Amino acid sequence: MKYIPGIIALLLIAVFAACEDETKTCDQTLLADLGINFKKDSLDGYINKDTTWPKVTVCALDKDTLISQQARSSVYFELDPLHDTCRYYLKLDSTAVADTLTFRYTRTPHFVSAGCGFATFSTLDTVITTYHTIDSLHINNREVTSDNTTNISLFFIY
């Protein structure tokens, strides 16, 4: 009888430890971010190298700033999970003219686990951009999932 409180305490600790691991797993697998890297075109298209821009600002149009004034060679952000289209503002540095990126995609619920529920994965259909600082873009992977891949490469001349 004197060991029962100790056994109950051990069981509760085990349950809380299992829940903490499940929460970490859920947080990682429920995030389905679109990945974009920046490349600079050198030697008339023969060499494309990764480049870092000094003060990248990205924000969803009509929403809060996502990434503001940080040196970046890539960005990751979530597509709108409630709509099939979203638009983002991209400015590379304080002197550059901003570009607009429009994403059209199909949303798909993806079952993660009974404890985590569903994540929203997307398949890119179309990406439309203005060409103020962006020279071109390439869709590397249309599937936006929780694997942190680079979905789009943006190419810049200057």
- Reported as a single tens digit per residue, the pLDDT across 22-79 is 555 675 566 889 999 999 876 665 667 788 888 898 989 877 767 777 888 999 999 9
From residue 11, how far is each of 6, 19, 51, 128 by CA, in Å?
A: 9, 12, 52, 54
What confidence tier does 10 reach under pLDDT thresholds 50, 70, 90? low
Chain length of the chain: 158
What is the band of 118 on the pLDDT scale with cuts at 50, 70, 90? Answer: confident
Q: Is the pLDDT of residue 110 over 60?
A: yes
Q: Could you give the CA distance from residue 75 to residue 134 in angstroms, rounded to a whole number? A: 15
Is the separation of the CB atoms in 36 and 153 below 8 Å?
yes
pLDDT confidence of residue 84: 95
Do residues 42 and 51 touch, judged by C-beta distance below 8 A?
A: no
The pLDDT assigned to 20 comes to 46
How is 62-110 classified by DSSP, letter by letter?
Answer: TS-EEEEEEEESEEEEEPPTT-SEEEEEEE-STTSPPEEEEEEEEEEEE
In this structure, whether the domain defined by 31-156 belongs to CATH 3.30.70 is answered with: no
Is residue 13 pLDDT above 70, yes or no?
no
pLDDT of residue 101: 96
The pTM (predicted TM-score) of the whole model is 0.76
Domain edges within the chain: 31-156
User: For residue 117, what pLDDT band results from cuts at 50, 70 and 90?
Assistant: confident
Q: Which residue has better confidence, 144 or 64?
A: 144
The band of 158, judged by pLDDT with boundaries at 50, 70 and 90, is: low
Q: What is the mean pLDDT of the chain?
A: 82
31, 35, 32: which is closest to 154 by C-alpha? 35
